[in-house]
Amino acid sequence: MPCVNGQETDSPQNSEAHRDMNNKIEFVVHADDFGYSKSVNQCIDKCFAEKWLSETSLMVNMPACDEAVEIARHHGYAHRVGLHLNLTEGEPLTEDIKECPRFCSGGRFNKVFHMSTNGRFFLTRKEKCAVRQEILVQIKKFRAYGGLMMKVDSHHHAHTDLSIYKILKPIALEFGFTSMRISADMHNVRIDKELYKRLYNYDVRKHFKATDHFDGIVPGLIANASGTTEVMVHPLLWDGRLCDSRKDFAENIKQIMTVPNSVIREK
């Protein structure tokens, strides 16, 4: 049931007041990085308590992962916790990928593959095998918790890289994932990048449930929202305040609440 209603405009002459009031805009507010640390877990838990979040996703290779699942179960939102596949930060769960220089240095992810066009599109046979093994182990660990949400996204959006997506898609389908995050909405990107995003999102929607739009809390996203829009947030403490990207979290949520005829999904 939706938990936050958008505020209607006062004047019918306002252009935003001409929206079809039977066609609600649904925001899916999604917190990344659950399990990253004890502090991040506490921030995400507080956001759920305030009814600011629709869902979150879990980093199964990070140190506070088990605690995150315990918190979610204790407070009744484990069914709203998806998988935040991680191939770019922290320590892998498998050994072979540590021997791939474009993925790891000193036994930890280094994100090198993700920072080059070549790595985003092409992997060696050795890298493909290692990535497949790492994805499998992360998914199996996620599934072993039981009762979590079968949605997958990723740290630093690595799953939108063609080299990773081609490996992830069949595994995700095999293990019963029903939803996947699309690529972020376009903001003045090159034509080739826009074309790739459109093709990627088209293929995701062929195989998984997905939202109509996805981005962070940015003015363009909020102002032009339509249909179902996933909003990515990263709750954290900054100078003692609960923030998202150093901006006050409550203020960011208020931006969403000002959109006429909108709701925040609460599963």
Give exposure, 218-236, as e/b (b: 16+ Cβ within 10 Å): eeebbeebeebbbbbbbbb
pTM for the structure as a whole: 0.88
Q: Please tell me the distance from the alpha carbon of residue 181 to that of residue 34, in angstroms, as a whole number.
A: 16
> Rounded to an integer, what is the distance from CA 18 to the centroid of its chain?
31
pLDDT (0 to 100) of residue 251: 85
CB-based contacts of 205: which residues, under 8 Å, 6+ apart? 182
Q: Which two tokens stand for residue 176?
A: 């019963």
Q: Where are the domains of the chain?
A: 15-87+143-161+173-264
**151 near 55, Cβ under 8 Å?**
yes
- Whether residue 6 contacts residue 258, with contact meaning beta carbons closer than 8 Å, is answered with yes
Q: pLDDT tens track of the chain, all 267 residues? A: 444 434 333 333 333 333 344 578 899 999 999 999 999 999 999 999 999 999 999 999 999 999 999 999 999 999 999 999 999 999 999 999 999 999 999 999 999 999 999 999 999 999 999 999 999 999 999 999 999 999 999 999 999 999 999 999 999 999 999 999 999 886 777 898 899 999 999 999 999 999 999 988 766 666 677 899 999 999 999 888 899 877 888 888 888 888 888 888 986
Pick the CATH number of 15-87+143-161+173-264 from 3.40.50.300, 3.30.360.10, 3.20.20.370, 3.40.50.150: 3.20.20.370
Three-class SS state of 249: helix
